[in-house]
Amino acid sequence: MTEIDENVQAVLERIGRAALRAGRDPSGVTLVAVSKTFPVDMILAVHAQGVRHFGENRVEEAAQKIPEASGRIGSSSPIIWHMVGHLQSRKVRAAVPLFDWVESVDSIALARRLDTQVAALSKTLPVLLEVNVSGETSKYGIPAEPRAGVYTAVREIAGRAHLDLQGLMTVAPIVSDPEQARRHFRALRQLRDELLIHFPERALPHLSMGMTDDFEVAIDEGATIVRIGRAIFGERPCAV
Ligand SMILES: *Cc1c(COP(=O)(O)O)cnc(C)c1O
């Protein structure tokens, strides 16, 4: 096994153990391998270990890598591509044909633009509403408070015929001890539970939270999607 193969297996084992510790079924946690800054060769190596979900955060980079990766993999076990970064409105048109999920819907305006572009392709796009639960001003996402803003965003996205709102996503603050991120993950889950009461007709099954440094805590708090880059691919050349 190469180092990257070992990394994937180690991450999958840690996900499984964290789920079991939390009394959850490991199959209820999906690994999204965040491949930003890493080459297609490495994506293919991770794919060969059975990983099917990958994440990118920049449209230009994705436009280079996704067609190449798809071409080299073929149609038997395709990658499901997740957009996890902030999506500028002028890049929506280019992003929509590339991605299967957009986890980073962080404004009503973006939801509207996405809906229009997806409609033109006659498909439905699974999306997550990105929420800023920590209140850090550097973070994208709809602020978790006041709740009225979140309710408005959910109502707006849920009303879009070509968007399929699957739940919530958050990027927790960078902390030295993963336990310090717990309250943010818990806050996202609590928000989701409130939304289920407020919008009883919606399911909102997904919580995308947890990265390399804190995914086990996130799973303990109910993450159904973890977005992991460095633990699989190694350190990135610079902070992105
Ligand atoms: C880069 C990135 C990740 C993965 O971060 P790691 O610390 O490398 O695991 C997850 N989510 C988002 C939104 C990212 O931009």
In this predicted structure, what is the pLDDT of residue 239?
A: 56
User: CA-to-CA distance for 79 and 175, rounded, in angstroms?
Assistant: 31
Say if ligand 1 is within 6 A of residue 230 CB. Answer: yes
| Residues 6 or more apart whose Cβ sits within 8 Å of residue 223 | 29, 185, 207, 208, 209, 210, 215
How far is the C-alpha of 200 from the C-alpha of 110, rounded, in Å? 25
Below-50 pLDDT ranges, the chain: none
Task: Give the whole-angstrom CA distance, residue 110 versus residue 157.
Answer: 10
For ligand 1, whether the C-beta of 84 sits within 6 Å is yes
Q: Are 43 and 35 in contact (CB under 8 A)?
A: yes
Distance 122 CA to ligand 1 centre (A): 30
The closest-lying atom of ligand 1 relative to the alpha carbon of residue 34 is: 4
Taking the centre of ligand 1 as the mean of its atom positions, its distance from the CA of residue 76, in whole angstroms, is: 27
Burial class of 57 by CB neighbour count within 10 A (0 to 12, 13 to 18, 19+): buried
Which pLDDT score is estimated for 1?
86
| pLDDT tens per residue, range 48-96 | 999 999 999 999 999 999 999 999 999 989 999 999 999 999 999 999 9
Please tell me the predicted confidence (pLDDT) of residue 237: 81
Its sign, for the CA torsion 189, 191, 194, 199, is: negative
Which residues neighbour 64 within 8 Å (Cβ) at sequence distance 6 or greater?
Answer: none
Q: Give the pLDDT confidence of 30-59 residue by residue, as tens digits.
A: 999 999 999 999 999 999 999 999 999 999
By the 8 A CB rule, do 168 and 208 touch? Answer: yes
